Amino acid sequence: MAWDAKKKLAFKTDFLLGLFVTSLILANLLGTKITTLFGIRVSVGIFFMPILFLVTDVVAEVHGKEKARNFVMVTTILLVFLFFMMWLSIALPPNETWGNQEAYANIFGGSLRIVAASLIAFAVSQLHDVWNFDFWKRKTHGKFLWLRNNVSTMVSQLIDTVLFMFIAFYQVTPKFTVGFIITLIIPYYLFKIGFALVDTPLCYLGVKWLRGK
């Protein structure tokens, strides 16, 4: 029975790693589309970001800080690999019988600034989330999961949003001043706060599911 429990825990942990990596890839591949939510212009990638922070919080709660940090480091390396392979695939000359190079490049080819912004914002915010979650877990002696889940996620989401917006768009045109970018950050971040509050029950369910109790 003990061995079965270990195998189940290992499988569930591997599943969460797969969900983590897939969500990040989808956020980057699909996030170029802009939609409107409640009258506010947002990227569809916003739907995947809460999953990332939820997964690291669940893993940190059950396995500890080091395991959650490993999730972030492995995924960061894979993201670098993803961007490199996308660049290589776009750069290779198309066969003369294939006429979709322009559309292919438009879909998969982001600017270097946006690629760098995505990579830096993800790594910094996720590593902060793992550290912050563990900090509050030690301060509360393992109690109040809802507190560390929300505090760590809200602060880390702010870091993610600010870093991405400024690295990707600051002075890309004269319009993108500090003040203008802040006006973009505020509604975008408020959406993320809303998602963070909504996923609190999911954090409890995820911890219970991963532990198998």
- Which pLDDT tens digit goes with each residue over 4-33? 888 899 999 999 999 999 999 888 888 878
Out of 48-62, 155-169, 182-196, least confident range: 182-196
* Prediction pTM value: 0.88
Bigger pLDDT: 172 vs 78 = 78
DSSP bridge pairs for 43: 34
Give the chain's mean pLDDT: 89
> To the nearest whole percent, how much of the chain has pLDDT over 90?
55
Half-sphere exposure of 103 (CA within 13 A, CB side): 3
DSSP bridge pairs for 101: none
Domain ranges of the chain: 2-211
Phi and psi at 97, nearest 5°, equal -85, -5
> To the nearest whole percent, how much of the chain has pLDDT over 70?
97
Task: For the domain covering 2-211, report its CATH number.
Answer: 1.10.1760
Phi and psi at 108, nearest 5°, equal -100, -15
User: How is residue 164 written in tokens?
Assistant: 């991405």
